Structure 1
Amino acid sequence: MTRRTIEHPDVTDSRIGAPFFSTWRVGTPERQRETVEAIGRTWERRTWPTADLLAYHVYTGHDGSTLLHYSQWASEAAYEAFVKVHRQERVDEIDVLVPGIERVGLGRYWRHRSRERAVGDARVPGLVVAVRIDFPAEAAEERAHWVDLVLKALADDPVGHRGLISAHFHLSTDGSHVLNYAEWESARAYDEVLAAPGEGIGAPTEQWERVRMYPGVTRFTAGRYEHALGLVP
């Protein structure tokens, strides 16, 4: 069977071989709520499709228009098998309930490294920030090094980020970008870090300057989200 959960996903689950992120654009906050409910109802009416899908989570964007989808697959092959047999009937039912959904795109990843939550930290994330960091094709191999620099800068930051619970850096399989799935205590905590002296996240240290000025990075884009729906077997 399929059941809902209010728990956030365990991004570090060792069984995840193929984490996927995608975005839908639905237009308004009301349609965000309607679409989340349509997804929940559509999935609950059906048996869980495969043991190779560990969980499926949906988040509402603070922009009032988008939904972020995060699915945890054991392998890309398992996802492709799901697409052949199970996906279309779910899409069709959701589209009947909420017509006009724009499916912006699906990104395939593997998780490179994480700044995991501290032992004993039981805070529930009030905000998820998805940050995309773009690299040119010729710099695809530099992505892992850039992530390593970020994690080193975070570890040595004298200011610290009390509101940051965890940060999980994923490399896209097409080589084009890094996606950081970051869990924050609240939107206020995130805003306070952004408002601190300096340029965005990070204290004005030499290590953070190396991160910001890294020659392989072409663009940063970020979206703010709240966990709206979790589906698990």
Structure 2
Amino acid sequence: MPTIAKNNDVITVIIIFEVEPERQQELIDTIGEFLETAVKNQPGFVSSSLHKSIDGVRVMNYAQWKTLEDYQAFVNNSEVQAVGKKLFQFKIHESHVYEVVVSLPDDAELKITKGGLIHLAEFRVKPENQMRLVELEREYLPLGLQNPGLLSGNFHRSLDGVHNVNYGQWRSFEYFEELLKDPKYKPLSEYWQGLAENEFHLYEVVFTEPAD
């Protein structure tokens, strides 16, 4: 099954689609078919995990490749991309290549499994501010981990310098709602202000390749 770790010898590609709620499952099925028929046997492919947002307006593909060159060869393979042409009718909200820069706690089982509950926080940042944001993410993540419902926090920085994301794994979303309401966690909603724009969605993992 897919795993997340700072020392993973992979690059991470996160693609987030915007979708009408009534077409969310159609998009998931379309991506899944493309993965099964054209992607999973490509050189350098490691894993892909599909997530659906609870509000119905996003679908995220969290993919891992051995090297950036492998991923670029896949993107530039016109025959493979032609197989996935049905995906072109859906709008991509964000697409970046990332490295994992903060992953806590150290002893967590950072596995991506079907049914997992994920909070994905997206930070749009100027390149000159990206590493400062990483420093603050490393500083404030232990505060979030005081919530017993947060299983792990995994901050990624995009290689193009303009995006950071936190892939937070939760025991249940009720714990996440408590975090939003508890005053002791207020610094978590403030540390990034002045450095980045932020939005988040809550997701459920609905598909992994390799399977659980």
| TM-score computed with the length of structure 1 as normaliser | 0.76
Is the contact between residue 142 and residue 216 of structure 1 (CA under 8 Å) also seen in structure 2?
no
Does residue 112 in structure 1 map to residue 101 in structure 2? Answer: yes
Q: How many angstroms apart in 2 are the aligned matches of 1:49 and 1:123?
A: 20
Cα deviation for residue 77 of structure 1 reads 0.7
Q: How many angstroms apart in 2 are the aligned matches of 1:183 and 1:70?
A: 13
Is the contact between residue 129 and residue 223 of structure 1 (CA under 8 Å) also seen in structure 2?
yes
Larger displacement relative to structure 2 (163-172 or 134-143): 134-143
> What residue number does 2:83 align with?
90
| Corresponding residue to 1:148 among 113, 123, 138 | 138
Q: 1:7-47: CA deviations, max 9, x gaps? A: 6x31127444310111112212x311122122223332347
Is the contact between residue 168 and residue 182 of structure 1 (CA under 8 Å) also seen in structure 2?
yes
Secondary structure at the counterpart of residue 139 of structure 2 = helix
Consecutive aligned runs of 4 or more in structure 1 exceeding 6 Å deviation: 120-125
Cα deviation for residue 228 of structure 1 reads 1.2
Structure 2 unaligned segments of length 5 or more: list them.
none
User: What is the root-mean-square deviation of aligned Cα atoms in Å?
Assistant: 3.0
Secondary structure at the counterpart of residue 179 of structure 1 = strand
Q: Structure 1 residues 141, 13: CA separation in 2 closer, same or farther (over 3 Å shift)?
A: closer
Secondary structure at the counterpart of residue 45 of structure 1 = helix
Structure 1 unaligned segments of length 5 or more: list them.
1-6
Aligned residues, how many?
Answer: 209
| Corresponding residue to 2:29 among 31, 37, 59 | 37
Q: How many angstroms apart in 1 are the aligned matches of 2:111 and 2:178?
A: 21
Cα deviation for residue 222 of structure 1 reads 0.8
Larger displacement relative to structure 2 (172-181 or 106-115): 172-181
Q: 1:137-176: CA deviations, max 9, x gaps? A: 4323313311221235446xxxx21100111011111222
Is the contact between residue 123 and residue 185 of structure 1 (CA under 8 Å) also seen in structure 2?
no
Cα deviation for residue 219 of structure 1 reads 2.3
Q: How many angstroms apart in 1 are the aligned matches of 2:177 and 2:195?
A: 23
Q: How many angstroms apart in 2 are the aligned matches of 1:123 and 1:33?
A: 20
